[in-house]
Structure 1
């Protein structure tokens, strides 16, 4: 590769690779530029470790003449024989470069090389790519060029690694911020925070269906079981709801002990309140079935569980609330307060699902009026509705 062409590529990366709008596009354009400059690449891979509770890392694989493949791997890969015998393990764990000339008997052998050799690869290089925080990520470079990479080719690869690491780190940090916000505050709130809504007083009014639930008998459960067991039970219990809520368009805003607060936004301009509330009810039914099926063995006893969920619809204030530099992105308002009060009524009535009069009027399903109940903080008693399909269960 000519030094002038190499400098153009490194400058493009340092300048932010502005001609590419997404990581896959940046990967493809970088590889195409390197090939055009004389680096005989056939396959290139970039492997980024992520800060995510379920995903170990992401990878972008470019092959000449093909679309960039994007993949994710979970933490289970660390226990697989494939990873144990992979050159990338050496890169990740030891921070060392791995070189494999396919026809050189002195090269260290990895099973992966057999696959590469079968595809006509003559040379393979896996290099560490270090971020500023010291974390080690990886790139891999393969060629079908007769004789493999030359010394000049390897020098060019080494020259590209540092600027590639900087632009990759910037992209990775932004994605990490998005994932952490999604994990801890939800995707809708996360997008708003990342978009600049970070000051107290940044809030909006939104119409939404409100979901507020908690686990029956949680206090007694916490008293008689070890804390670690209680946490594990709570995780399984929340799994029963979160998948259904998100699958039907809702966003989980907060876990409060055994309580869960979620909202399902309503587009008042479209007028889809009935559709949204119908999906909320579907999510409630799915969660009810999942919780009823949940069985957790503790010694000789199998614990079974019940929960209650209150459904309401109304306007909420959605945004930053807190003191000083410690804020919470959440929702408040009379509608949320009413949902919280209704949730307590589920236990008194032995019901799993109860709805406010407003929710029942919007979501016209087979509701049964359970009566009027005085609600603390509200001047008028509120009509409460339950599903006809449910049989009340006496609460101990």
Structure 2
């Protein structure tokens, strides 16, 4: 994309104007005094405030980051004068196809521009590209806007912008001072962003609680704790036949819809999904939350409603409704790392998990989609709401247990 010359220029100055002396103080602060601040938005807010204290009239600033997240393509951090906390907005996949994005200085930078500069006062309106953002900034009282790529290692590029509301906008010295800060801020922001990305990836693949344990140092084989928890194991019925008969993309779409229906209620009610196992999942509701058992039942109820809606859609597409089985038990489990020397899995193991798994298998035999143990029912105080379907001897147990259907 060709960026209008009136809106952009490349900063390759020979330091004709030295930046204000306080600029070096802000760089020193970035490099030596931010090490204990975990969040880049807090650093960005303080930096913008320090710029104003140094006489550089920053009235607005934004950071635009691409992030590794299953739901979001990127995020924008916005600060405006007077804000004590940044406004953080996420952007979903597909935003780059929107008119708003295509007609924006952010797109100009992603298309190769080294700098975008646009004065916003009426005298410069005729030369400005007709970007909605510029109209919004003028309406807010801003007089100048400048944006640069924020370069991280290995070619990763994000974006930083500044706005001014001073009559006449930024001076040449102001622009030079802001440009001087970019390398230092790039280093500081990259560290925080990579820390956040590491957390996001761990949360995506092992769940929020397990990710905190791993980041806190639980990375050796055998590291773990004993946890009292309600265990939920769910499995999709007849998946082997579906996967053999259906096209690959249809199978993936089916699985994603099924996991959405099951997983979102679990997470919404405080459960943590530790793993997806082919067409099944394993989740825990720790009993340190006194409402854990009630939360688990509420999650199952919502999941059943979501599965009913999904099956209606499947019927419209000519597919058979999906069946599933859920087994629930409660007790102590070992929660931690198991595996080989070089490949670990953060999970729960123990007899409690085995009983939940056997109850899930029993759903096939009893033709009931959700089965729960008496131990869970007694702790949850929910016997009156459930149907006792008798005592059953589960594989691996020496005595039968009472089983309830939901």
- Whether TM-score is above 0.5 comes out as yes
* 1:16 CA drift (Å): 5.0
Give the structure-2-normalised TM-score. Answer: 0.89
- Tell me the SS of whatever aligns to 1:133: helix
- Tell me the SS of whatever aligns to 2:153: coil
RMSD between superposed Cα atoms in Å:
1.9
* 1:152 CA drift (Å): 1.2
Instruction: Check if 1:321 corresponds to 2:338.
Output: yes
Structure-1 residue corresponding to 2:145: 124
Instruction: Check if 1:53 corresponds to 2:74.
Output: no
Q: Where in structure 1 do 4 or more consecutive aligned residues deviate above 4 Å?
A: 18-21, 105-109, 296-300
Choose 13-22 or 94-103, whichever is displaced more.
13-22
In 2: Cα distance, 1:66 partner to 1:323 partner = 50
Q: Find the partner of 2:306 among 274, 286, 290.
A: 290
5 Å matches for 1:237-386?
A: 237-267=258-288, 272=290, 275-295=291-311, 296-297=313-314, 301-363=318-380, 364-365=382-383, 366-386=385-405
5 Å matches for 1:31-42?
A: 31-42=48-59
Structure-2 residue corresponding to 1:392: none
**Cα distance change of structure 1 residues 256 and 95 upon mapping to structure 2, 3 Å threshold:** farther
Instruction: Check if 1:214 corresponds to 2:235.
Output: yes
Provide Cα deviations, 1:134-189, integer angstroms capped at 9, x if missing partner: 11100111112222222211111110011111111111111101110110000000
Structure-2 residue corresponding to 1:76: 94
| Structure 2: segments with no counterpart, 5+ residues | 1-17
Structure-1 residue corresponding to 2:10: none
Number of matched pairs: 382
In 1: Cα distance, 2:81 partner to 2:154 partner = 32
Give the structure-1-normalised TM-score. Answer: 0.92
- Tell me the SS of whatever aligns to 2:293: helix
In 1: Cα distance, 2:52 partner to 2:36 partner = 17
| Structure 1: segments with no counterpart, 5+ residues | 388-396
Instruction: Check if 1:99 corresponds to 2:117.
Output: yes
